[in-house]
A and B are shown apart, each in its own frame.
Chain A
């Protein structure tokens, strides 16, 4: 449902699907009180990139100021940090936890936005009452995290020739085939770019040729297709 909305948004009027996706709507679907996503995986914290509700933004600011919190942990470890009851997290984040509870958050769920070694940022969801996410809600959040990751990658690395636009169907998960990731590594060496840009180039090629990403990736791995720096 969320992904269908992203897909629709991706085909059209200049903005990418992500800007069409109201974080408040998604929060209702996932079953939380607020969601937002930020770009950045370093000690400097994240820059807001999606969703902008007050509590989420304040929670990110807090982590930046205090130098601790679930988004930082998720960015460093690459593992979702799921805290159904913040009251249990006092020992883990002694400064952040009381401040976050002061903002009215009682449960926090942070999902890393990453594809293998490509780290983009983190997605944060909060609840005003303690409570664990159900398995289906986690599945929705993970699917959403994949789609947001791709949208942010395209925002950051697309060139004007790509139209800055991922094509229809771009919200389909990238993580399905091993060859896509192998091809990403190969293209990054061919073009002397980082993995993030290599993946965007690979997807742009598939989009331009109207072929499945997996097919283009298979051609790269079989060395039937090379990317040249001059093609960029």
Chain B
């Protein structure tokens, strides 16, 4: 399948998920997975920036603790925060050459086996609400076409985060962002509950949570809340 074809299919697929009452984190997880395939990178994450300028990982192509840590490290210095501050893409940043610019981040990313990093802004008019963060394990240069496709995917992520309501004011933007960030926290809490309950890693706990939501056709955030609150609705997962 050509990439154009894959892109079209991805847009059709995500448009289908943007129905009433869709689950924003689940949507972003799907999108992060598609980014890896479509842009031929090795990891992708969708980062949101809160009112204090802290970066939060809303979704990643691989939900590994190590990768999430790499995302979060960038609150101090890194391509994501640069991208959020300037609203412009950071593309093909070589992690060796940029060791001086983001020393801590570059070292951690290299330790994880990455050699290049990219960040594309999640933009809504004059606001930047986050970035699409892409990692490559090989030195493959993102072409202009790749960047265009990546920016389109980043725009889709923005639409998904804000789509639950039409947006005319900064106020609604803040409300939607806050809501997405809080959904993510519920998922982290539920991961912890399941990890301890079943003596598994938090990464395994996430896989368990997501798989169960898919099989039972539940919204990921709803299931996570039920697990976190130990409500009867999640008893099956609690005992599993």
Interface residues of A (CB under 8 A from B): 77-82, 84, 109, 112, 114-118, 132-135, 138-139, 142-143, 173, 175-179, 181-190, 195, 221
Contact = CB atoms under 8 A, between A and B. Distances in A.
A139 B191 contact: no
Interface string B75-108: 1000000000000000000000000000000000
Given A132-B169, A195-B228, A79 B192 contact: no
B72 interface: yes
A181 B188 contact: yes
Interface in B173-209: 174-176, 178-179, 181-182, 184-186, 188-197, 202
A142 B56 CA distance: 16
Nearest to B231: A117
B51 A143 contact: yes
B195 to A, nearest CB: 6
Given A142-B51, A189-B196, A82 B191 contact: no
B149 interface: no
Contacts of B181: 175
Nearest to A82: B171
Given A173-B52, A189-B196, A195-B228, A116 B189 contact: yes
Give the most central of B172, B175, B191: most A CB within 10 Å: B175
Given A176-B75, A221-B202, A116 B185 contact: yes
B54 A114 contact: no
A223 to B, nearest CB: 9
Given A173-B52, A189-B197, A183 B185 contact: no
B72 A142 contact: no
21 contacts: A77-B179, A80-B171, A82-B169, A114-B182, A115-B182, A117-B225, A132-B171, A133-B171, A135-B170, A135-B174, A138-B171, A143-B52, A177-B72, A178-B72, A182-B202, A184-B189, A185-B195, A186-B193, A189-B196, A195-B189, A195-B229
